[in-house]
Structure 1
């Protein structure tokens, strides 16, 4: 590739048709399509490729969706367990093999510090290793830059340790004593289970995350939903697109072959559940009286998915085993709204309440008032700026192995079309 011979040094300037920022599955999917079409480009990565998969996942991490949903461009899952759930090291092997399947013009260890549009309409991409000038910029840096920790966490007794999901690797990272896991998205419930399996003392602050069946009527629920076309529904087809974008993922697990997570059953087995955390001061932790509501709402989501599958089975006349009606295994009594961490033996907090992207380096008018990208299927109103790899960029699978390739195909097709309509961009090959 032409770019292979270009090594920008500080204060140098390299002109190129396309710059991709980020070398995760989204950025390298875009590179795969551009390479196939012979479009000159560069992929800039501040760490190494797939850094998050290698360095920001816990040791027992596994996929929540079945392996068959791994469909990176030209590289679908080819293993012998399509209905299984790859472990962390297997995921790394998969994405590394995808990257090795083509010759991406990748530059690792380069941090983008500023992107701005000049008077000629080109984009100046400043880095700590020189300046690139491009007609098109694909932002594939993901949405996991800044772990969310609420401001009141700073008011908690400093003797109580704080850890975020990005820094957790194994139960050995948690101090002796009880750990309060905050958040019930996929990470929160899985790390709660990880600690319990290790025999650690753990409590869980339950947020408003929904939950999903795992196996239902003879098949994994995700198999049914895929067959029903659920994963093909676009963000524009959702009743409230903004609310859909903001939703937390349904929780379940792929661990040990996959299973549901019903927090009521964990409570019956001795897990202390609280409502949402509302504040911290000294050794005092306060909770909203919303535990029962959050459990009920999660179950409503669970039941709703079952009803969708039931309706589909009935409509298509499919032979499938019946399932007993869902029953709530446990209900909370009076809700606890305040605890003293010292009295409860709480020595650590594990924050599992998500991340925020950091686009402070992006000096282009393509973000809304909350800092979220403004786009339609990754294509911004500002000509030449694109996003990839975000949840619900186009469909449910956009931020996952299932749909990121289709989005990359769409975005790169737009770029190739524009390059062919008078752009001065170069091609190679």
Structure 2
């Protein structure tokens, strides 16, 4: 079978793939982007109905295009975000082929580049960029067996409370997804138990500025590595309901029962770690530190921003926090379903190259792998804290495109030097 020749083959047309295509286009580098579904499909089909972006429209976007028809301080719906990336790709004629799944990438033997097998033919590519991002395969911990008689689903398959059977719900995971899903289910009239693990809890806004702005001016988006022990700590922040600071005590006052990190299940009883109070306290400390850092920034720069002393007032601890539940008989509590807001793992089973560690994680430095010609994009902490966010992946894509252009320059010099003198 004849293979199509391409200089750069980009796998994935979400925010990472679209950003990569723009920078390659600007560099004049011939490329193609292959996407097994539609552009930004995960925003459409792997999110719940009421999801909105976690950052305001002025911030969670690419530099070259603003959201259409949305107030800059508002939070775009999932459909608006997907439509945004579609419009962005169309704005510069991104060479994206949808409905094409990449099934295998292997280095060519005795020739440069890689042999790529897809559902729609084969390619020879000099460079391959894996732009599939961090949200590839949903993770449901092997805690509750399927024989337990409970409906279990990952947050990526949750759409709205109506899809759940009657009864109480246990939501496991208190990052952005878990908090929003738990609150929505509680408002529908269900009893909800929310399993809270370690988390950061920034204010949604403070002194008239969104937390995205504060992290920017304080240089926190540009942190190159996470704090020790916090590599997988989630961020409890939400753009739902117009954007409000996540307050676990407020959730408890509304009727949600907070429990610690989910540990084990046995004979119908769920057991939780004794870390709820510590997790809430650490989240509070993170919240208060950002307020203090913001105040210091205001004073240092002489900014005229309204003071907000009430932001430091914490609600009284609810009973579920003062005396945490360590064991819960799910049937006695009326729990009939569990929503696992427990994240994703990366899946590079299609990428058969020497670019992974013993746990299957990409080995890379700012997206450049030790396997020459292989690049990654959209990874958490790829170059900074903001790497897996919409605006952050755009900047990482520019760096990767620059590295590809540099490699092209070396190859062009080699080919020129190989030509006989006078030719």
TM-score, L = length of structure 2 = 0.91
Structure 1 CA distance for aligned equivalents of residues 279 and 156 of structure 2: 25
Given the alignment, which residue of 329, 333, 354 partners 2:316?
A: 329
CA contact (8 A) 2:191 2:255 kept: no
Alpha-carbon distance, 1:231 to partner: 1.9
* Correspondence 1:38-187 to 2 at 5 A: 38-72=28-62, 74-77=64-67, 79-119=69-109, 120-154=111-145, 157=148, 159-187=149-177
* Correspondence 1:12-411 to 2 at 5 A: 12-72=2-62, 74-77=64-67, 79-119=69-109, 120-154=111-145, 157=148, 159-235=149-225, 240=228, 243=229, 246-320=231-305, 321-324=307-310, 325-331=312-318, 332-411=321-400
Alpha-carbon distance, 1:314 to partner: 2.1
For residues 358-385 of structure 1, the C-alpha deviation after alignment (integer angstroms, 9 at most, x for no partner) is 1112111111222221111111122111
CA contact (8 A) 1:21 1:43 kept: yes
Structure 1 CA distance for aligned equivalents of residues 142 and 68 of structure 2: 45
Structure 2 counterpart SS, 1:406: helix
Alpha-carbon distance, 1:73 to partner: 5.3
CA contact (8 A) 1:71 1:403 kept: no
Structure 2 CA distance for aligned equivalents of residues 22 and 155 of structure 1: 33
Structure 1 window deviating more from structure 2 (383-392 vs 112-121): it is 112-121
Structure 2 CA distance for aligned equivalents of residues 345 and 423 of structure 1: 68
Alpha-carbon distance, 1:273 to partner: 1.3
**Cα 1:371–1:274 shift into 2, 3 Å:** same
Partner of 1:7: none
CA contact (8 A) 1:217 1:323 kept: no
Alpha-carbon distance, 1:60 to partner: 0.5
Query: Structure 1 runs of 4+ off > 6 angstroms?
Result: none
For residues 159-188 of structure 1, the C-alpha deviation after alignment (integer angstroms, 9 at most, x for no partner) is 210011111111111111001001101100
**Cα 1:277–1:255 shift into 2, 3 Å:** same
Alpha-carbon distance, 1:318 to partner: 2.2
Structure 1 window deviating more from structure 2 (15-24 vs 194-203): it is 194-203
For residues 21-78 of structure 1, the C-alpha deviation after alignment (integer angstroms, 9 at most, x for no partner) is 0011111111112223332111111112111011111111001111111332522446
CA contact (8 A) 2:63 2:391 kept: no
Structure 1 counterpart SS, 2:82: helix
Structure 2 CA distance for aligned equivalents of residues 267 and 251 of structure 1: 15
CA contact (8 A) 2:107 2:113 kept: yes
Alpha-carbon distance, 1:239 to partner: 5.4
Partner of 2:417: none
Q: How many residues align?
A: 410
Structure 1 CA distance for aligned equivalents of residues 208 and 98 of structure 2: 45
Structure 2 CA distance for aligned equivalents of residues 318 and 34 of structure 1: 40
Alpha-carbon distance, 1:315 to partner: 1.6
Partner of 1:6: none
For residues 208-253 of structure 1, the C-alpha deviation after alignment (integer angstroms, 9 at most, x for no partner) is 1221111212322222222233223333xx554xx55x23332121
Structure 1 CA distance for aligned equivalents of residues 218 and 255 of structure 2: 38
Give unpaired runs (5+ residues) of structure 1: 1-10
Structure 1 window deviating more from structure 2 (29-38 vs 316-325): it is 316-325
TM-score, L = length of structure 1 = 0.90
CA contact (8 A) 1:155 1:281 kept: no
Structure 2 CA distance for aligned equivalents of residues 293 and 415 of structure 1: 46
Structure 2 CA distance for aligned equivalents of residues 49 and 182 of structure 1: 30
Structure 2 counterpart SS, 1:71: coil
Structure 1 counterpart SS, 2:410: coil
What is the root-mean-square deviation in Å for CA atoms of aligned residues?
Answer: 2.1
